[in-house]
A and B are shown apart, each in its own frame.
Chain A
Amino acid sequence: GESVGLHLPTLSVQEGDNSIINCAYSNSASDYFIWYKQESGKGPQFIIDIRSNMDKRQGQRVTVLLNKTVKHLSLQIAATQPGDSAVYFCAENLGKLIFGQGTELSVKP
């Protein structure tokens, strides 16, 4: 079936620490995944994406890892800042996006 789930609903980290947000998916045929950040009262904002022909992709302070064997992906945020506080969603792109419920990241100063 089509489903994308997140392991933890909330994550609290200290400013400057690294954050890791995890996501599992169930459709082994999926080949394109996107991470979005949603701040309160705003629409989802694209962070980074990855296709199934890659295991890792890096952006500015963010890294996405994809493990196709266990159908798991993660978002790593380096040197987390207060501005990173938001809800993070992984989404499976099947033409329509299948979103998980989200992980709320809280950054403590």
Chain B
Amino acid sequence: NAGVMQNPRHLVRRRGQEARLRCSPMKGHSHVYWYRQLPEEGLKFMVYLQKENIIDESGMPKERFSAEFPKEGPSILRIQQVVRGDSAAYFCASSPRRGDRETQYFGPGTRLLVL
């Protein structure tokens, strides 16, 4: 049973470009969470999605960031017009049911570097 998969593992963008990060949850998991880890810091919650629905986006920056989890295909975290401060590791986690009753399992992350 494959774990949570994320791609790309490393992404380099210039300021002003768009970054698209993809996450495929574990098989049988319909709940996806995105977290951001800045250098030398802990992980910070960004957004929680179920298939076709955003459940909690309280951790998402108000501008330039969006997330989706379509009926078919991976979850996408999209960052428009990236700035240097967006450089971080972005982790996706999944769970089979609502997260507060379930362990969340993490993918390997996407490391975004904005030049």
Contact = CB atoms under 8 A, between A and B. Distances in A.
A43 B103 CA distance: 14
Interface in B41-61: 41-45, 48, 55-56, 58-59
A46 B101 CA distance: 15
A46 B94 CA distance: 12
Interface of B: 4, 6, 33, 35, 41-45, 48, 55-56, 58-59, 91, 93, 98-101, 103-109
Chain A's interface size range is 20 to 34
A19 B45 CA distance: 28
Contacts of B104: 34, 93, 97
A100 B43 CA distance: 8
B109 to A, nearest CB: 5
Interface of A: 32, 34, 36, 42-46, 49, 89, 93-102
Given A89-B42, A97-B93, 10 more contacts: A43-B91, A43-B109, A44-B91, A95-B56, A96-B45, A96-B56, A97-B35, A97-B45, A99-B42, A99-B43
A43 B104 CA distance: 12
Contacts of A100: 42
Contacts of A95: 48, 55-56, 98-100
Contacts of A46: 103, 105-106
Given A42-B109, A43-B91, A44-B106, A89 B43 contact: yes
